[in-house]
Amino acid sequence: MHLIIISGPSGSGKTTLSEKLLKELHHGIILNTDNYYRTGIISKLLSKILTSYFDKKISFNCGKFKRDMMFILENGFINKTYEYDFKNKNIKIIQKKTDNIKFIIVEGIFGQEAFEFLSSEKCILIKLKETKSCCMERVIKRDIQERCKTKNLAKRDFIEAWKLFHINKKKNNSKKYLKTIVLKKKIDINFLIKKLTKLMN
């Protein structure tokens, strides 16, 4: 089974690219690390008092993510997925079986950190390069519409998230992947599909 990690700062287009790849490449599944945020009273409290809580590793339920990842790798299917609700700070369980899984796309700001328990040499890493101003514009728009933030709060959180991403990026630079693909600005999806197909065959 092949593992594709899509890495990039908030607003760089990870989710959009993941969905395009899943549509073109058959028998896959997306694991979005945004859907593995911690829930409960403590998490809700921390999200209110900690700046950019959702951009810090403390907010990520790595254990839950690891269990799902290992189950898929061992069995080739999964019976449910999750969807995190940023408004209510809870997770919706979606009962839907996905079987005959041949590859997993992992996307989200915790994608690379989540692979600390796997051999990175078996993973394909796609790094999205986008300007800070472009990412900020996307994030502010998304956070106002989907996460009930004010413009000022969305901007403040983005700036902090941008710093955290680049700090963590330095820590992950030493990892060796099967292949690293760097994409800048407009993505030629057909070229990327051909490249991935060749790597996975």
Asked if residue 198 belongs to a domain, the reply is no
Q: Which of 52-61, 71-80, 145-154, 173-182 has the highest mean pLDDT?
A: 71-80
Once rounded to an integer, what is the mean pLDDT over residues 177-199? 86
Number of domains in the chain: 1
Give domain status of residue 201, yes or no: no
User: How much of the chain exceeds pLDDT 90, in percent?
Assistant: 56
Q: Coil, strand, or helix at residue 99?
A: coil
- pTM comes to 0.90
Residue 92's contacts (CB-CB under 8 Å, 6 or more residues apart) are: 82, 83, 84, 85
Output DSSP code: residue 102: -
Identity of the amino acid at 92: K
| Residue 200 placed within a domain | no
In a domain, 166, yes or no: yes
For residue 143, pLDDT over 70 is answered with yes
CA atoms within 13 A on the CB side of 161: 24
**Is 127 part of a structural domain of the chain?**
yes
d(CA 159, CA 11): 12
Range of the domain at 146: 2-191
Q: Which amino acid is at 91?
A: I
